Structure 1
Amino acid sequence: MDRAGVGGVCLAFPGVTVDHPFGGDHDAYKVGGKMFAITGAEGGLSFKVSDIAYEVLTETGRAAPAPYLARAKWVHLADPGGWPDDELADHLQTAHALIAAKLTKKARAELGL
């Protein structure tokens, strides 16, 4: 999946916005103002995962700990094109759900979640 594909998947989730806090060459996908996925200019992708998924993906070498965000259980894919689109879309949906679950009840209601 390329950068445009990631954008198409992420923007289809409810309450998602895209921002460029690190410059125009990075897309940060947010729900309720909180990031759940970031794409970079060189095609890399970082996203939030569960504790178990973090251990499995990093220990098997399928993903690397995300720079600056690994302590919050984010992983980084240098080449997301090497992953099956449906599997990557599932991970992005999970990332969205993990971050959305941390929002207040009021914020989730305002976003239609």
Structure 2
Amino acid sequence: MSLFLRDGFDAALSALPGVSFVDQWEARVAKVGGKVFCLLSDSAPHRLVFKCGEESFDILTALDGVTQAAYFAKRQWVSVAAGSELSDDDVLAYATRSHALVAKGLTKKLRTELGIV
């Protein structure tokens, strides 16, 4: 199931520890510990936005269909269009990595409460 569809987005990301979902900013937003790690735009063309590291940012933004995410911290968030050069498996791997990057910034106590090792 594709992450670019709401059902696929929810199903794939709900498998990660401590994830909650909200609808805000005209998007389906996945959070860990109350912090955004991925979002899916509500309107077509659908886009995914997620956090990435510096090296990944440079690699990803060189691909067709991937740009720096508007309104997010510079050089840490990308926006991926449905139909980009990334495979569904790659998009899921990057979204999972985004979860880990954001969770790393949570307190140890909160990570423990959320079941994040």
TM-score normalised over the length of structure 1? 0.88
Say which structure, 1 or 2, has more relative contact order (CA 8 Å, 6+ apart). Answer: 1
Distance 1:74 1:64, change over 3 A: same
Aligned-residue offset at 1:88: 1.2
Q: 8 Å contact 1:19–1:28 — kept in the other structure?
A: yes
Give 1:7's aligned residue: 10
Whichever structure has more strand as a proportion of its residues is 2
Whole-Å separation in 2 of the counterparts to 1:55 and 1:81: 16
Number of aligned residues: 111
Q: Give structure 1 stretches of 5+ with no counterpart.
A: none
* Range with bigger deviation, 78-87 or 51-60: 78-87
Aligned-residue offset at 1:80: 5.3
1:65 aligns with 2:73: no
Whole-Å separation in 2 of the counterparts to 1:72 and 1:18: 24
1:88 aligns with 2:80: no
Alignment of structure 1 residues 19-98 onto 2, 5 Å = 19-23=22-26, 26-41=27-42, 42=44, 43-61=46-64, 63-71=66-74, 73-79=76-82, 83-98=86-101
Moved over 6 A (4+): none
Identity of aligned residues (%): 32
Q: 8 Å contact 2:57–2:75 — kept in the other structure?
A: no
Which deviations, in whole Å up to 9, do the C-alpha atoms of 1:42-62 show, x marking residues without a partner?
A: 211111111110111113445
Q: Give structure 2 stretches of 5+ with no counterpart.
A: none
Whichever structure has more helix as a proportion of its residues is 1
1:100 aligns with 2:103: yes
Whole-Å separation in 2 of the counterparts to 1:78 and 1:33: 25
TM-score normalised over the length of structure 2? 0.85
